[in-house]
Amino acid sequence: MEQAHPANSSFFCVDCSKIPKRKSAHFSAHGIPRAYVSEGLRRVLWLLLFVLCLCAFGYQAYLIILRFLRNDIIVGVEIRFEEIRFPAVTVCNINPYKNSLARQSSSIKNALESFEFAIDRSSGSEPKEKSERHKRSNDEPPVRPAHVYCRESEGHFSVDPEGDEQCVGFFSNK
């Protein structure tokens, strides 16, 4: 019985003449086109250089895979314990919630007031009276409606006690 691929057959041999010449000239690996255009010893040197570079690439890839499979931990942690003043809490000012809306919840309001009281007590100062922010518009007197009779002339309304239209005007105590 004959072997399918005997050792002396040309099945395992790479025949460079079977590589199309136009593909070799435009191959993106730099050694192959150089070997294609060179002749004699230069061709052998270019092919040898290409094979050496290919082996170096394989060796580097092998080392990287080994390092990956070792599962090394390369993080160093250093913990320092220092004395800090009470409370060891940092309240971040960058948050998506408004303080006024958060204080509407009784549990959050109680927690924040307790926290503020503890800070005031630890610093030795008296607890401050809560100063609430208010809008500037709160300082202005309220505007109230006034029902009056008015008269229309040329698209404008004017107050007239004997007018035939009922109007609503707004006034303040200023």
Q: Which of 49, 69, 89 is the last residue of a domain?
A: 69
Whether 86 is in a domain gets the answer no
> Residue 146 and residue 168: Cα distance in Å, rounded?
6
Is the CB of residue 158 less than 8 Å from the CB of residue 151? yes
Of 111, 71, 106, residue with least CA distance to 91: 111
Whether 49 is in a domain gets the answer yes
Q: Which of 53, 69, 85 is the last residue of a domain?
A: 69
Q: Collect all residues with Cβ–Cβ distance below 8 Å to 91 and sequence separation of at least 6.
A: 115
Q: Tell me the per-residue pLDDT of 78-92, one tens digit each, with 9 for 90 and over.
A: 777 777 666 656 666
Is the CB of residue 170 less than 8 Å from the CB of residue 157? no
pTM score: 0.30
Whether 160 is in a domain gets the answer yes
Q: Tell me the per-residue pLDDT of 89-128, one tens digit each, with 9 for 90 and over.
A: 666 666 566 777 778 888 888 888 888 888 777 766 665 5
Whether 161 is in a domain gets the answer yes
pLDDT by 10s per residue, the chain, length 174: 444 555 544 444 555 565 555 555 566 666 677 777 778 888 888 888 888 989 999 999 999 999 999 988 777 777 777 776 666 566 666 656 677 777 888 888 888 888 888 877 776 666 556 556 656 555 566 666 676 777 777 777 777 777 777 777 665 655
Maximal CA-CA distance, the chain: 129
Whether 87 is in a domain gets the answer no
> Residue 174 and residue 159: Cα distance in Å, rounded?
20
Range of the domain at 39: 16-69
Whether 96 is in a domain gets the answer no
Whether 75 is in a domain gets the answer no
Q: Which of 69, 88, 104 is the last residue of a domain?
A: 69
- Spacing of C-alpha 121 from chain mean position: 39
Q: What are 150's strand-pairing partners? A: 159, 165
Count how many domains the chain has.
2
> Residue 110 and residue 103: Cα distance in Å, rounded?
8
Whether 21 is in a domain gets the answer yes
pLDDT at 30: 66
| Structural element, H or E, at residue 171 | strand 165-171
